[in-house]
Each structure stands twice: as structure tokens, then as C-alpha cells.
Structure 1
Amino acid sequence: MFRTALRNNLRAYSAPVKKFVVKQPQKSRNWLLWATFGTSFGLGWLVTQHMTFADILAKYMYDNVPENDEGLLKYKAQLQSRLEHLNVVKQLKQVGYTEVFSERQKTNTLIDRTLSVPGGIGIPPRFFYNPETRETVGIYHLGMKLTGYPFLVHGGVLATVMEDLMREAVTFAKGVRSEKTQDLTLNYKFPTFANQFVIVRITKVEENGKNLKLHAELMDQSGDRTLVKGVGRFST
């Protein structure tokens, strides 16, 4: 009996010990699905908010077509209609501004020639002037070809537009046909989305003999957000 009990004990000790293994939980990949969805949704929203089918055509297909091309004419007419229905156009006329038609300078080729392409500044800017305050407002359309980062207008383009409006303001305020930029200082407040109209306005005019110091700001097409502020000094 003793031997039988001993054998049973030896078998018990020699038998392999069963281990209780806890299965490690797999990491959830739901965050990847949500991140993909969020990115796709965000890009889709940007495209639909800031780019129409006509704008896509302008970016890729209107470079080498003649000026009387039907598609190009429709694209420009669409931009003109959008500009005419901006609230700011109606508001300016109600507060003492009148539309002025500038004799654009032959030396000002960047706005009127180089950037004056579909997807760039596709239609000429429009200017409004208040003779009592000597303040000028310009409205420019900035297309998708003027981007630096995707959907965002290049800072150099914004500087060019700001200077262009200031130069026009000098000619209106001083009644001269030529001026010289002495310096221009800009403060970028917020990214500017492409494929929208921007409003550039003079907020203050300081005159010292033949020299003028202009304070200006560039806003989105609603006029609710200031995107760039600047100060320019000019001589006549």
C-alpha cells in the first residue's frame, strides 16, 4: 500500500503543470478608420466650399485657349456674377463709396498680365472710393493657381494684392498717375483660402507733403475676418 501511494505521488509531481494563459487583447484599429474618415471628410468639405467644377477646369484646362472660348467666357461670367452679388458691393454703395475705373498703369504687369489668367486673378479687380474719407476698397478674386500650401493663397500673392490696392489708393487720394513704393510691412493674421474674393481696404491715410502712409487690411469675402494687415509708405 505504501508503494502504491508513493507511485501515485511521483506521478502527480512528474505530470506536466497546466498553465492558465490569458489571451492578450488585440489593439483596436477604430482610430485609424475614424482618422481616415475625418481626413476624407475634411478634404471633401474644403473642395466643395472653395472649388466648383468650373474652377477645376480653370486650374487645368484654360491655360492655352483663346479669349473667345465659350467655356472660358462662361467661367469669367460666373465670377462676375459672384462678385456682383457679394454683400460688400451693396454695402459700399450705401455708405458713400462710388465705383472708380482706374487707368491701370502699364508698368503694373504682375496683376494685370502675369496673374491675370483663369485660376489666378481671372477677372479684373474692382475699386470703390470714398472722397470724404479718402479711403479705397478693392475686391480681388484669388484662384486655385495662386496657392502655396494646398487651398491656401501664397503669402507673396497677398503682398502683391495689398501693394496694388495701396498704389491705387495713392492715385485716387492725390490725383496723380504715378507713385513709388518706399516700403511695405505686412502682418499675416490668418490663412487665406484660395478660390474666393478678398476685400482690401484702406483704413487710414496719413499725408506728409508728397509722401503718404497708408494703413490697410485684407479680409475674406464676407468681410467678417481680417486675414492680413499692412502699412505702406509711398511718394508721389
Structure 2
Amino acid sequence: MFRAGLKASLRAYSASAKKFVVKQPQKANKWLLWATFSTSFGLGWLVTQHMTFADVLAKYMYDNVPENDVGLLKYRAQLQSRLEHLNVVKQLKQAGYTEVFSERQKNNTLIDRTLRVPGGISIAPRFFHNPQTRETVGIYHLGMKLTGYPFLVHGGVLATVMEDLMRESVTFAKGVSSEKTRDLTLNYKFPTFANQFVVVRVTKVEENGKTVKLYAELMDQSGDRTLVKGTGRFKT
């Protein structure tokens, strides 16, 4: 009897011991590793898609260097080359647009001076105008220092760029040297990633005496996705 009782106790102990050993901690650790890997991979991919090594230098190392610094000159030359090879630039030239220039330094201190820093709007925007359709297109490079949330351009910067292009369009369409913004209305359609060129295009011009109303949109550098739409009224 004693031996039978001992065997029964051992069987019960073995059964309880097997039930006590679980593998949940290992499973949880496995999911934690996968989550960490996926997050790191995603952030790494995002950075490599929108930042080069030169952009990293521009964000952290070019703040206090003189304008004739070799590294800074190379960085801006790289941006100019990237701009020149954008498909949208080739398409504009083929579609009858002509590159136009204006006296911006005297009137536009925000974009042409305050934001003209590495990691900001490092190079001057380029403008193209079609006199037949009265459409104007501007191409701007928005660097990593213009972000609100990580990797995303601040909405105020986008509004500034939209207004800037509309003001340029008024001067080209009306042949005037100055204008005054009356109101600006924007509709943000999609987040805008920093460290890319954006294409701002005036799609329609309406005139009512000395007031000009413009319809415009801001697109990514491919010109395939509309990121912001807006209207603005200006007095000439």
C-alpha cells in the first residue's frame, strides 16, 4: 500500500511540474525582438530614402561655416545637380515653360535670407512660366531643419512656400514689381517629407480689377502626388 501511494504521489508531482513549465516568456521575447527589428529597419529605410551623408552634415555641421567653405559649396552643388536632373524640369522645358527670374533679394527676406541655410532652403528656388496658360511653377528644396514632426515639413513652411510661389506668379502674370497678400487658404492633403524637392504650381488665375485670385497646389518632386492645395488673393 505504501509503495502504491508513493507511486501515485510521484505521478501527481510529475504532472504538476509539467504544467508549471510554460514558454510564454520566450514567445514574448521573440515578438519583442521582431518589433525592435522592424522599427529599426523602418526608421533606417526612411532615413536612407530622404537623407544622404551630405544632408546629415548640412543638418549638424554647416551652421557656422563661411559661405566659401568647400564642404558647403559641394553640398549646394550637389543639390543643384539633383534639381537639374529632376524629370519635372525636363517636362516643363518640353511643355513650353520658360525659366524666369525676378528681383527677389530686395523683397523676400524670409526665403532668400532667413531660410537660406544648410538644411533649410539651401539653394534658390527655380521658377518657370508659361505665358500662354499664365501658369507658373516653382521648385523648392526643403531640408531637414524645416520639420515639425520628425521627417515631416512644418505646415507653416509649406504655407510660406505656397505664398511665395503665388506672389511670384502675380508679378509674372500682371507684369508688376510688387503685390500685397490679402488672404491665403490652404488644404493639407498629405504629409510632406523633408529633404526633397517640392513642385508648387499655379493652376488658375482670376483677375478682378487690382485683385488677383490664384489657385495653386504643392506636389512631391515627381509631380505625381498633390500634398497641399490652396487659394490666395493679392492686391496689385
Q: Distance in 1 between matches of 2:229 and 2:61?
A: 34
State which of 14, 18, 22 in structure 2 corresponds to 1:25: 22
Instruction: Structure 2 unaligned segments of length 5 or more: list them.
Output: none
Query: Is 1:84 aligned with 2:81?
Result: no
In structure 1, the residue matched to 2:206 is 206
1:218 maps to what in 2?
218
Give the RMSD, CA atoms, in angstroms: 1.7
Aligned AA for 2:120? Answer: G
Secondary structure in structure 2 of the residue aligned to 1:106: coil
**Matched residue SS, 2:20:** coil
* Greater share of helix: 2
Q: 1:105 offset after TM fit, Å? A: 5.3
Pair 1:12–1:212, CA change in 2 (3 A): same
TM-score calculated relative to the size of structure 1: 0.92
- The CA deviation at 1:103 is 1.2
Secondary structure of the equivalent of 1:192?
Answer: coil
Name which one, 1 or 2, has greater alpha-carbon Rg.
1
Aligned counterpart, 1:93: 93
> Deviation of residue 33 (structure 1)?
1.0
Counterpart residue type for residue 20 of structure 2? K
Instruction: Answer whether contact 2:188 2:228 (CA < 8 A) is retained.
Output: yes
2:134 touches 2:205 (CA, 8 Å); kept in 1? yes
> Alignment length, in residue pairs?
227
Structure 1 unpaired stretches of 5+: 1-7
CA displacement at 1:64 relative to structure 2: 1.0
How far did 1:204 drift?
Answer: 0.9
CA distance in 1, matches of 2:105, 2:118: 21
| Residue correspondence of structure 1 range 19-98 to structure 2 within 5 A | 19=13, 20-21=15-16, 22-27=19-24, 28=27, 29-98=29-98
Letter in 2 for 1:42: G
CA distance in 1 between partners of 2:105 and 2:121 (Å) = 17
CA distance in 1, matches of 2:63, 2:228: 29
Identity among equivalent positions (%) equals 82
Q: Calculate the TM-score normalised by the size of structure 2.
A: 0.92
